Structure 1
Amino acid sequence: MINLIQNEMLKIVRRKKMVYVGLIIAILVALFTYAQFKELERTKEKFGNVDWRTTLQQQIIDTQNRLTSSGISDEWKNQLQLRVQQQQYYLDHNINPMEPGAPTFMRNFAQHSITLFLPLMVMIVAADLVSSEIGTGTVKLLLTRPVKRWKILMSKYLALILSVSIIILMFGILSYLISGFVFGYNGWSAPILTGFNIEAGELNTNTVQLIPQWEYLLMEFSLVWFVAVLVGTITFLISVLVKSTPVGMGIMLAALISGAILSNMVSSWESAKYLFMINLDLTGYLAGTAPPIEGMSLGFSMVVLTVWGIAALIISFLVFINQDIY
């Protein structure tokens, strides 16, 4: 099995996929770092060199002004109201939610990347692990060896897990190094509030806890890794079912984009909470954002994603073991 995994990793390395993924991550991190830097400059020009409390108070005022607009939906208005309540909670407890530094950038960038950007990076590696070899016929060479089919597929899946772990590691390291060049590398011990609960559209702060940022990042990146593995597993299934890699990537891309759209539109469609793409934003539960559908929780979403992952893995093995390859 170890030799098979090494063989699969060599294939991934030779195709330079990890290099391309690393370059894409580095470029986007640099772009977002520059955008955040320009935003900070704009804030200084607008308000001067004020402390974080004044800036946060102004953000609350701006959000409250937006709430008076008649052009926003009720769902978005509820989101804004919850944001104001959270910001006010930070003010009342004298905690800066945006402590400057690379760790804070990592926290925010991971939170905004978990539903689309990182899944797309995983898809680059997972989309053709099986389909490309079936399409070109190279999988026949593997099947001529005295190795059972399930071992061949398992080696590919374990190589995928290893690749996903490397992608998440690159994401964290590049985010820290590049953003730290601009914002500094301090902030690991900055206090972060977590445990906000949304009950009946209201913010519940009874379970809020104060933890250091390094601990928050550890939990956040664990959830990011979990989502990345789940997306990789489903993409792996599509790679087994569909011989054409572009078609497989198109199917997965459509699912991810539809999930990003539906998350803002499905509050009244309760059954949608069982779709895997609606449950990808696990870091939102840590940050205290309202779930797409009332009643969803971190535990619920993790169970739903786990069921999808196990089902995808079982179907992948059943199909690969029993299909005719010619």
Structure 2
Amino acid sequence: MNPSMLGLVQNETVKLLRRRRFLVVVLILAILIPIFTYAQYRSVITTQERMGTTDWRPLLTQQIVDMQNRLTSSRLPDEWRDIIKIRIQQQQYYLDHDINPMAPGGPTFARGFMDQTISMFLPMIIVILAVDIVSAELSEGTIKLLLTRPVRRWKVLTSKYITLLLFTSLTVVMTLFMAYSLSGFVFGYSGWDLPVLTGFEVAGGELQTAGAFMLPQWQFLLMQYGLGWFVCLVVGTITFMVSVLIRSAAAGMGVMMAALISGMILTQMASSWESSKYLFVVNLQLTDYLNGTLPPIKGMTLPFSLTVLSIWAAAALIVAYTVFIRRDVTS
């Protein structure tokens, strides 16, 4: 990175901090993570009171029975039936091998938090960071002053994108740190070496356990949050493109929120529209591949989803640079 680019990145960092977007993100995490922690704590206490024991084995057995009872319902959609069958097989595997998948602790909460937030909550956080990184300059007219400097347009846009990457990475790290540290007050801070099963594969509607193996939870968390970072990077890049195309930050926010919400709906209905597997919003739940969960569309794999997301991010960058370099900012 040459000195002029470093100076541009520093300038963009100051502007992003001045808009207090990152502070908003930190406050959202600081408010919602304790709420999620308390909700999980109450769920654990309620289940233990209902079962009359703190032993995880009867609790897990009861979960399996409850899911088997759900399968008897004639109103259950076929796609949900397949998901529940896979979940029963996985839970039974944990039970047979005497591994507690619900062991309490800050690391376990952080793992569950990423599983639940990777496709919706975290992308929304990144949208807040990225949505006005370019559009604010356009709507306020400051882009004209910025482009009068003897710096090529692609360097100006690159500095904004690098700044976005830095804050996206920082957001993911902050999520892990806050999820662990805040939940640790309730569940304790141990559990980094807890064995976690991964390597499950789903083929023909059946869970394949031949390739399953155990990892220390800290290694699983690195893999999991690495996938979470990649998802945030892709969503941030697409939001970056929207910020270039749309002058209004509010309109850009609406576009991205609509895309993410529609993606959540499509994920539940995707089995009836096979071509939807090429949409980026259907491929965001990457951590499901680590957990052996049935994908939205049969045949989807981790390499497939990574490829689809990479293509979307690359296309978004091409569009953003093309439009920004050719745009007439005098109008």
- Fold similarity call, TM over 0.5: yes
* Superposed CA offset, 1:140-177 (max 9, x none): 11100000000000000000000101111111111011
**Range with greater deviation from structure 2 (149-158 or 167-176):** 167-176
Give the equivalent residue in structure 2 for 1:316: 320
SS in 2 for 1:50: coil
Matched, 1:271 2:275: yes
For residue 309 of structure 2, what is the amino acid of its counterpart? L
Cα RMSD (Å) of the superposition?
A: 0.7
Which consecutive residues of structure 1, in runs of 5 or more, have no partner in the other structure?
none
* Superposed CA offset, 1:191-238 (max 9, x none): 000011111111111111111100000000000000000000000000
Give the equivalent residue in structure 2 for 1:73: 77
* Superposed CA offset, 1:38-92 (max 9, x none): 0111012111223111110111011111111122111111111111000000011
Distance, in Å, in 2 between the alignment partners of 1:199 and 1:28 is 37
| Alignment: residue pair count | 326
Matched, 1:46 2:45: no
Matched, 1:305 2:313: no
SS in 1 for 2:306: helix
Give the equivalent residue in structure 2 for 1:296: 300
Give the equivalent residue in structure 1 for 2:170: 166
TM-score, structure 1 as length reference = 0.99
Distance, in Å, in 1 between the alignment partners of 2:178 and 2:214 is 27
Determine which of 125, 132, 137 is the counterpart of 1:133.
137
Matched, 1:255 2:253: no
SS in 2 for 1:189: coil
Q: Superposition pairs for residues 81-230 of structure 1, below 5 Å?
A: 81-230=85-234
SS in 2 for 1:256: helix
Matched, 1:5 2:9: yes
For residue 72 of structure 2, what is the amino acid of its counterpart? T
SS in 1 for 2:202: strand
Distance, in Å, in 2 between the alignment partners of 1:296 and 1:78 is 15
TM-score, structure 2 as length reference = 0.97
Determine which of 16, 22, 26 is the counterpart of 1:22.
26
* Superposed CA offset, 1:118-156 (max 9, x none): 000000010000011111110111100000000000000
Distance, in Å, in 2 between the alignment partners of 1:219 and 1:307 is 21
Matched, 1:64 2:72: no
SS in 1 for 2:129: helix
Runs ≥4 residues deviating over 6 A: none
SS in 1 for 2:150: coil
- Overall identity of the aligned pairs, in %: 55
Distance, in Å, in 2 between the alignment partners of 1:242 and 1:127 is 9
Give the equivalent residue in structure 1 for 2:329: 325
Matched, 1:287 2:327: no
| Structure 1 residue 18 displacement after superposition | 1.0
* Superposed CA offset, 1:239-272 (max 9, x none): 0011111111101110000000000101131111
For residue 269 of structure 1, what is the amino acid of its counterpart? W
Which consecutive residues of structure 2, in runs of 5 or more, have no partner in the other structure?
none
